[in-house]
Amino acid sequence: MSRFIRNAAVLTLSAGVLASLPAVAADELHYNQISLRAEVSQEVARDQMIVTLYTESQNTDPGKLAAEITTTMNKALAQAREVKGVTLRQGSRNSYPIYDNKNQKITGWRERAELRMESSDFAALSKLTGEMLTHLKMNSMDFAIANPTRKASEDALLKDAVNAFKARAQLATDALGGKGYKIVNLNFNTNGYPQPYARGAMMMKAAEMDSAPTPEVEAGTSQVSMSAEGVIEVLQ
């Protein structure tokens, strides 16, 4: 009976040792692993111009008001469609009541409609904007990075980020006296694609003046960065 108990104890101990081996092996996989981060950046031109114009009017008859706004917007759309390379998007259109001084009775209606125009041809869009300001008003003039330019910059930054990460990995490996390294995981993050950059209010006011010439525009650049973050295992 005692011999059976001893054998059982030996078997239990052996099973326990075997069960612990994967855990030990898993722990050993994390030896000599370090986290690294590398970042690269470049200046990217804001090559897309975005202009938002609007018309606004009021009338005691909401039906006549809607017809007036529609006529003005249709005229603007027809004029803008004649210019090549300009993408048109109709923005918001809102109508709301106007109350008397006591805020009790509706005395009229006010309606506003927007037209958004986008183009990489700054000269053409600037000229068109100046012509349309005779019957529309300026809401904003912004500059952004166009999607094709964004993709091209991301592709270039991705290669640079990988090379920068590998350089830091080799530097860390040499500092630790390793023979080499292998990448365990690697992630990329892109930053710096801002919201469209708006021009100053004074420049837009100048553009609204009928006698003012078409304003020169300078979109500038944005600094775009990409970081590579990951874990490497240093080989001894």
- Residues 151-175, mean pLDDT to the nearest whole number: 95
The dihedral through the CA atoms of 159, 160, 163, 168 has a sign that is negative
Average pLDDT score, the chain: 82
Flag whether 176 is in a domain. Answer: yes
- Residue 158, C-beta contacts closer than 8 angstroms, at least 6 positions apart: 188, 226
Flag whether 207 is in a domain. Answer: no
DSSP label at residue 219: -
Q: pLDDT per residue over 106-134, tens digit each?
A: 999 999 999 999 999 999 999 999 999 99
Do 62 and 130 belong together in one domain?
yes
Residue 192 pLDDT class (50, 70, 90 cuts) = low
Q: What is the pLDDT of residue 216?
A: 62
Q: Give dist(CA 181, CA 170) in Å, integer.
A: 7
Q: How many domains does the chain have?
A: 3
Q: How far is CA 94 from CA 56, 57, 59, 220, in A?
A: 10, 11, 14, 34
Do 37 and 153 belong together in one domain?
yes
Domain span including residue 6: 1-30
Q: Which of the two residues, 211 and 214, has the higher pLDDT score? A: 214
Flag whether 56 is in a domain. Answer: yes
Q: What is the pLDDT of residue 214?
A: 55
Written as six digits, the tokens of 181 are 């390294």
Q: Which of the two residues, 8 and 205, has the higher pLDDT score? A: 205
Q: pLDDT per residue over 35-72, tens digit each?
A: 999 999 999 999 999 999 999 999 999 999 999 999 99
pTM to 2 decimals?
0.68
